[in-house]
């Protein structure tokens, strides 16, 4: 079949969370941090970049390493990690990379003549007297920079605010001059942290981290991760440093609040922290975000969904899907890898990845090999009631379903078109330590359908792919 766009949109062995998309010269570039497969903490690897033509979000090009941990003068031994970055084009036409290392509260900047690097260290965001933002008495710690340049001014948004922490007032907006380093207007708070949110309109969705900024028409859109972590919320204002009003949730990486296909409070994936940004690509708007894999918080993968900006500026929440980059449903024909599952759950509900009480009883998307090995992802540890959901497919004339399974398991996979719908058929599986194909004659109704595969039986199965014929 012709190439299609899947979520995650990058190779299944790549772990790029915190993605900030920007369009330069008819290509969209994604800048994020870089997790390590089986890593023990966040963001262990160097920054890399991927880009795609604005006309084809199914074909992403690896641009290579664009900045190393050791490129920052205060991190010569690489002991600190590169947390979530953002990039903006300065008034001089060069590209500026803003980031914060994981054990300091200052904002570093690197620069390059091209959007895909390689970036070189440039300096630290500073006041006019030379002192660095984040180190002056009374400064709030800096974290997760998001940037927007208009004319000679660059607006820098930063912050991290945990629940109950009264020392953190909220996300900050700081204005920088044309040198991209020097502060021309000192930090102001643009939204409340949880302890200061009463009466603000942000209650229940207060700022936690991950500030991102875009301008659409005459409105500034401030996107952030709330104290619930799994959701990306947004606020809008006609001004870049004041007047932001909470508007709602754009996407959740466990699909909470969505009630179109299940109860609003039912999690459909194992969520976790979230971070991303908006981009207009070839006339359509998208939200970039990340999901969690490998049963931990430290192996996050990049996803995207098309969004609609309504005439009044609102953005309705969108579902997580398997087909976000595809401009519509996937073809109901051929083989699909299991790692594109957008729903993953079992009888024991959990909102967050790696909740201790689950202790290995839940399914997870993972891969063989070590970090960097180009091993296709699959779903492991599918025990009784474990369900993988894939959305959406344009089905026509499907009469057979084939699955590729391995594992010490005995039972069957049920096939459905909704998470709690009728079973259309069952595919028996048995013990095997190599990938083995099993099939059954199962008719999928014509039309746009979701597909759900539920394991019933003993042991634990791994699912590599399914084929529709």
Judge if 308 and 395 occupy the same domain. no
User: Which has the higher per-residue pLDDT, 301 or 2?
Assistant: 301
Alpha carbon distances (Å) from 248 to 3, 212, 218, 304, 451: 34, 15, 19, 18, 29
**Is position 15 within any domain?**
no
pLDDT band at 1 (very low <50, low <70, confident <90, very high): very low
Whether 356 has a pLDDT exceeding 70, the answer reads no
Per-residue pLDDT tens over the stretch 189-247 = 999 999 999 999 999 999 999 999 999 999 999 999 999 999 999 999 999 999 999 99
Residues 368 and 308 in one domain: no
Contacts 24+ apart (CB under 8 A), 419-425: 419/261, 419/262, 419/268, 419/343, 419/345, 419/387, 419/389, 419/450, 419/452, 420/262, 421/452, 425/401
Domain boundary among 307, 326, 345: 326
Torsion angle in degrees (nearest 10) through CA of 51, 53, 59, 65: -10
The percent of residues in the chain predicted with pLDDT above 90, rounded, is: 97
Measured between its terminal Cα atoms, the distance across the chain in Å is: 13
Does residue 183 sit in the same domain as residue 237?
Answer: yes
Average pLDDT over residues 314-334: 97
Q: Taking residues 80-88, report their average pLDDT.
A: 98
CA neighbor of 462 nearest in space, from 441, 435, 438, 437: 435
pLDDT in tens, 102-120: 999 999 999 999 999 899 9
Q: Which residues pair with 290 in a beta bridge?
A: 302
Confidence label for 357 from pLDDT (cuts 50, 70 and 90)? low
Q: How many CA atoms lie within 13 A of 193 on its CB side?
A: 20
The SS3 assignment for 46 reads: coil
Residues 400 and 422 in one domain: yes
The string over 416-450, giving b where at least 16 C-beta atoms fall within 10 Å of a residue's C-beta and e elsewhere, is bbebeeeebbebebbeeeeeeebebebebeeeebb
Neighbours of 309 (CB within 10 A): 17
pLDDT at 361: 80
**Residue 447 included in any domain:** yes
Residue 69 CB contacts under 8 Å (≥ 6 apart), including other chains: 46, 75, 78, 80, 81, 82, 101
Distances (CA, A) of 437 to 228, 308, 430, 462: 40, 40, 11, 12
The residue annotated as part of the active site, out of 209, 231, 305, 414, is 209
373 has catalytic annotation: no
**Domain termination site, one of 268, 291, 326:** 326
How far apart are the C-alpha atoms of 412 and 199, rounded to whole Å? 52
Q: Which of 18, 63, 144, 319 is catalytic?
A: 18
Q: What is the mean pLDDT of residues 286-290?
A: 98
Question: What's the pLDDT band for 354 if we cut at 50, 70, 90?
Answer: confident
Q: Is residue 18 flagged as an active site residue?
A: yes
Burial class (CB within 10 angstroms; exposed 0-12, middle 13-18, buried 19+) of 370: exposed
119-158 pLDDT tens trace: 999 999 999 999 999 999 999 999 999 999 999 999 999 9
In the block, which residue shows the tokens 């969520």? 271
Its domain, for residue 141, covers: 20-326
Asked if 411 and 430 count as a contact pair (C-beta separation under 8 A), the reply is no
Kind of pairing, strands 461-468 and 334-337?
A: antiparallel
The pLDDT-based confidence of 360 (bands split at 50, 70, 90) is confident
Domain boundary among 308, 326, 344: 326
At residue 34, the pLDDT reads 98
- Kindly tell me if the per-residue pLDDT of 438 is higher than 70: yes
pLDDT value, residue 107: 98
> What CATH number should be reported for the domain holding residue 239?
2.115.10.20
Length of the chain in residues, anyone?
469
The CATH number of whichever domain residue 376 belongs to comes to 2.60.120.260
Residue 2 resides in a domain = no
In this prediction, residue 117 carries a pLDDT of: 86
Number of domains in the chain: 2
Question: Is pLDDT above 70 for 2?
Answer: no
In a domain, 8, yes or no: no
pLDDT for the residue numbered 54: 98
pTM above 0.95, yes or no: yes
């Amino acid at each position: 079949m012709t190439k299609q766009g899947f979520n995650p949109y990058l190779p299944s062995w790549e772990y790029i969370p915190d993605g900030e998309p920007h369009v330069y010269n008819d290509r969209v570039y994604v800048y994020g941090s870089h997790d390590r497969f089986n890593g023990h903490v966040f963001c262990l690897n160097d920054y890399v970049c991927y880009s795609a033509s604005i006309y084809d979000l199914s074909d992403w090009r690896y641009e290579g390493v664009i900045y190393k941990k050791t490129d920052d003068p205060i991190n010569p031994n690489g002991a600190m990690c590169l947390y979530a970055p953002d990039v903006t084009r300065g008034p001089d036409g060069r590209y500026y990379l803003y980031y914060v290392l994981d054990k300091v509260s200052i904002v570093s900047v690197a620069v390059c003549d091209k959007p895909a690097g390689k970036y070189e260290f440039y300096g630290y965001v500073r006041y006019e007297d030379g002192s660095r933002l984040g180190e002056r008495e009374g400064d709030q710690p800096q974290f997760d920079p998001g940037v927007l340049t208009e004319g000679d001014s660059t607006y820098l948004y930063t912050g991290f605010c945990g629940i109950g922490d009264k020392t953190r007032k909220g996300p900050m907006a700081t204005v920088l001059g044309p040198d991209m380093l020097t502060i021309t207007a000192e930090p102001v708070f643009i939204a409340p942290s949880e302890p200061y949110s009463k009466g603000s309109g942000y209650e229940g969705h207060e700022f936690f981290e991950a500030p991102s900024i875009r301008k659409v028409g005459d409105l500034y859109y401030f996107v952030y991760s709330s104290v619930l972590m799994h959701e990306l919320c947004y606020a809008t204002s006609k001004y870049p440093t004041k007047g932001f009003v909470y508007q709602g949730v754009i996407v959740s990486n466990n699909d909470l609040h969505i009630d179109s296909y299940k109860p609003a409070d039912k999690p459909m994936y194992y969520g976790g922290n979230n971070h991303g940004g908006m981009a207009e690509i070839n006339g359509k708007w998208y939200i970039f975000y990340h999901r969690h894999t490998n049963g931990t918080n430290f192996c996050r993968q990049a996803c995207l969904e098309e969004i609609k900006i309504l005439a009044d500026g609102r953005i309705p929440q969108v579902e997580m899907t398997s087909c976000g980059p595809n401009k519509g449903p996937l073809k109901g024909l051929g083989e699909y890898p299991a790692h594109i599952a957008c729903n993953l759950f079992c009888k024991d509900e959990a909102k967050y990845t790696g909740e201790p009480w689950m202790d290995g009883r839940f399914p997870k998307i993972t891969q063989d090999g070590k970090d960097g090995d180009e091993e296709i992802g699959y779903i492991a540890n599918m025990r009784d009631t474990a369900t993988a959901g894939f959305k959406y497919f344009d089905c026509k004339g499907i009469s057979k379903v084939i699955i590729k399974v391995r594992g010490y398991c005995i039972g069957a996979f049920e096939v459905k078109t909704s998470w709690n719908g009728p079973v259309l058929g069952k595919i028996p599986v048995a013990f095997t330590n190599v990938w083995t194909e099993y099939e059954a004659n199962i008719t999928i109704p014509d039309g746009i359908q979701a597909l759900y595969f539920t394991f019933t039986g003993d042991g634990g199965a791994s699912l590599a792919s399914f084929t529709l014929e």
